[in-house]
Chain A
Amino acid sequence: MRGIPDAISSLSESAQDAKRGEDETRLSVTQVHERHGEFVWRTLHRMGVRPPHVEDVYQEVFIVVHRRLRSFSGQCAITTWLYEICFRVAAGYRRKAHFRREELVSDWSELEPSIAGSSSASPERQLVAARQAKQLERILDELPLEYRVVFVMFEIEGMSSEQIAESVGAPLGTVYSRLYRARKRFARALARLGSAQMENKS
C-alpha cells in the first residue's frame, strides 16, 4: 500500500531523534509541525478523520499543541504526546461526525483511484472496490478509537507491533489486547453486514 514505507520511516526518524537525545521540549509549534506534521497527518487518517475535514482537524490539533507545548516535559516521546492530542481531537470529531456519517463517504469522486481500484480497472471492478472501501470505513467507524488505530496500523498499514506500541505510547501487551478486541468486533460487524446483505437480496 502506498504511503506505508513513508509512515514507517517517519516513525523511525522520530524514534532516532529521541534516541539521539535531541531536546524536543524546546521546539516551537512551527518546528513541531515541520518535524512531526506528517505523523499527525497520518495519525488523524488512521483515526478516521475524512479527507475533506482532515486539514481543519489538523489545525485543531495544533491549537492544542500551541497551548500545551510549554508543559511538555519530554518524559515521553513527542510523538506519543502528539498522539494523545490527536486522539482527543479525533474523538471530538467522531462525535460530531457520527451524525453525518452518510455524507462522509458518499461522494466517491473524492476517493483516489487507489481506493476505488486502479483507474485502469474496469468500471465494475472500481465499483466493487469502492463499495468495499465504504463497508470497511463503516466497520472501522464502529470500533472504539484506540482499537481502530491499532487495527489499522497492524492489519492495513502492516506496521510491526513494536512500532505501533512506540507510536501510540502503550505497552506491547496493550497493543495485542487492543488488536484482539478490534478483531473480534470487526468480525462481528462483518458477519452482521453479510447477513444484512443476504436479507436485502432475498
Chain B
Amino acid sequence: MKTPVRWLEANADAPKGAADLLSAAPSPPPFTDALRYRLAVGVAKTASLPATSAWTSLFAKGAFVAIIGGGSGYLVHALAAKQDAPAPPAPAVAAAPVAVPLVAVPPPVAVEALPALQLPTAPPEAPKLKYDSRLEEAELLEKARALVGSNPSQALRITSDYARQFPKGRLGAEADLIAAQSLLGMGNSAAARSRAQASLKRYPGGLYARQLREIAGQ
C-alpha cells in the first residue's frame, strides 16, 4: 500500500491554507525529568490505593522525619545561638557583691519579645485525589474478581450488584468478563458464552474483547 504524501510536503495536494495551519501546530511540552518526577508522586499515590505501597509509605515517612528533624535542628540551633551569644557586660559582682546595683542586672526578656521560631506544626498535607466513581466501581469488581476462583457464584452475584449500582458504569466490559469467567467456573459454559457474546456486542473494541472472544468461542 502506497504511503500518502504528507500535506506539509511540497508536492502534496493539500487544501489551500492547510499547510500554514499545520506548520503552526504547537509542540507538546517536553517530558522533562522534573515533570516525570512530579507525575510520579501522583502515580505513587494512586498505586497506594487501596493498599499503601511501600514506596509511598517510605516517601511519606521520610518527608515527615525530614520536617520534624529539620524543625528540631532549627530549634536546637536557635537555643545554642542564644547561649553562645556574647553575654551582656557583667557587673562587678566579684569585687563587691554587696554593692551590685540593681540596674546592672540584665532586664528580663519578655516572651513576646523573643524572635518567633517558624516551626512547622504538621507535615504538609499530601495532595488529595479527586473523587472518581471508577474507584468505587473498581472496588466492587475487585471483590468479585478475587472470588472468581474460590466462589464463582458469589462473584457472579457481585457483578449483578455492580450492574444495579452502576447502570451506566464505566467498567461494564470488565464486569461482563468477570461474570463470564464466574459462569465458566460454575460449569455453565453455555451461559458464559452467551454473556461474552452479548458483551462483545456492547463493547466490540473494548480492552477485554480478546478475552471475551475466547470465552465466546469466536
Contacts and interface: CB of A to CB of B under 8 A. Distances in A.
Interface of A: 1-3, 6, 28-30, 33-34, 37-38, 41-42, 45, 51, 55-56, 58-60, 62-64, 66-68, 71, 73, 75-76, 81, 84-85, 88, 111-112, 114-115, 117, 129-130, 132-133, 135-136, 139, 152, 154-156, 158, 160-161, 172-173, 176, 179-180, 183, 186-187, 190-191, 194
B26 interface: yes
21 contacts: A1-B27, A3-B28, A29-B46, A30-B47, A37-B31, A37-B39, A42-B31, A55-B38, A59-B39, A62-B43, A63-B132, A67-B138, A71-B207, A117-B24, A136-B24, A152-B25, A155-B6, A158-B8, A179-B4, A187-B15, A194-B16
Interface string B14-58: 011110111111111111000110111011101101000101000
A136 B22 contact: yes
A3 B46 contact: no
Given A30-B47, A68-B174, A51 B29 contact: yes
Contacts of A161: 3
Contact of B25 (A1, A67, A173, A186): A1
A2 B132 contact: no
B3 A160 contact: yes
Contacts of A129: 24
Contact of A135 (B21, B43, B135, B170): B21
B31 A62 contact: no
A2 B25 CA distance: 11
Interface in B180-197: none
A138 B40 CA distance: 32
Which of under 10, 10 to 19, 20 to 34, or 35 or more describes the interface residues of B? 35 or more
Nearest to B208: A71
Given A37-B39, A45-B28, A112-B29, A191 B15 contact: yes
